[in-house]
Amino acid sequence: MLRKIVIRLVSLVGVLLLLTFIVFLIQRTLPADPVKAFYGRNSSPAIIAEKRAELRLDDPLLVQYGAFLGDLVQGDLGTSLRTRQPVRDDIGAFLPATLELAASASFVALTLGFAIGIIGSRPGRMSGVARGSSVALAAVPTFLAGIVGILVFYRWLDWLPAGQRSSDPGVSTPTGFLLVDTAIGGDPAGFGDAVRHLILPAIALGIGPAVAVGRTLRASLRQAYREEYVRSARAKGVTDFNVIRRHALRNALNPALAMFGLQLGLLLAGAVVVEVVFSWPGIGLYLSQGIQATDFPSVIGVVFVLGVMYVLINAVIDTLQLVVDPRLRT
């Protein structure tokens, strides 16, 4: 098991290097001259030359890559052309809102996904319904889910708020995590408000991954039902519920977990879209504004941070699989 984890770590480093190299290449191929973009077209040649030297634009490519890696390790992602702040500080300010949203959406994805998978795997009329609706649900664009949610539950029924993280525009969040802050600060009204603001965006974001997880789980559960340990459990008189919970589900869990890890890439990219729809003040909205303003350092910074998150979470899930399934350990 230790050997497996070590191999996993080595490949993790490789993947992270590839990610940094791609980000670096993207930065190098920008059609716009980053120096002119920063100072404007009519700045004096002396200033431009100085900045070029500072950004090491005249060095060989590999030297530049080395310097780029060095900057990354120190957390230097450059300066945003739009906000004129270091991209690192901007991301630090906006990341907690995105993390809260992504975590809630993951919760939706896993609960809804397990429901779809377990119901769909069992014989009966609900199985066909679950299958058909999962094919249809997989085709719902994130922004359609968001828009319909806003129109129905905010505009029409007025049950839930739509947009922003809180009804109070001046709400203070020392850590940036509104849920955590209100919970620790003993503010149940604020906590409830934050939860209500989370419901619609989290569901809009979680539907897609939920369907993918559900379909994978359904397939692996059906396979597990054919195994002999399930038959003997049934023969012993174990109830249907316990057959699934104690026998089939544990063995069918791994493919669903792996699928969830893969779906995180879509979930993080979808978070950008959902944050635009709900004016959610996270790094997705920041990224989208960066795209509109052709602010490359911030775009690339956000993609890099989200990419690293994705790679790391998948590494954790891989390791978790070893914990869940002893068969994989050797």
Question: What residues line the site for other proteins (CB under 8 A)?
Answer: 11, 14-15, 18-19, 22-23, 26-27, 29-31, 135-136, 138-144, 147-148, 150-151, 155, 208, 228, 264-266, 268-270, 272-273, 276-277, 287-288, 291-292, 296, 299-300, 303, 306-307, 310-311, 314
Comparing CB distances to other proteins, the nearer of 113 and 307 is 307
For the chain, the C-alpha Rg in angstroms (whole number) is 24
To the nearest whole angstrom, how small is the minimum distance from the Cβ of residue 74 to other proteins?
21
Comparing CB distances to other proteins, the nearer of 136 and 323 is 136
Comparing CB distances to other proteins, the nearer of 231 and 245 is 231
To the nearest whole angstrom, how small is the minimum distance from the Cβ of residue 134 to other proteins?
9
To the nearest whole angstrom, how small is the minimum distance from the Cβ of residue 144 to other proteins?
4
Tokens, residue 108: 């939706």
Comparing CB distances to other proteins, the nearer of 19 and 119 is 19
Comparing CB distances to other proteins, the nearer of 180 and 291 is 291
Comparing CB distances to other proteins, the nearer of 184 and 316 is 316
To the nearest whole angstrom, how small is the minimum distance from the Cβ of residue 279 to other proteins?
10
To the nearest whole angstrom, how small is the minimum distance from the Cβ of residue 287 to other proteins?
8
To the nearest whole angstrom, how small is the minimum distance from the Cβ of residue 296 to other proteins?
7
Comparing CB distances to other proteins, the nearer of 7 and 184 is 7
Residue 254 near residue 224, CB atoms below 8 Å: no
To the nearest whole angstrom, how small is the minimum distance from the Cβ of residue 223 to other proteins?
11
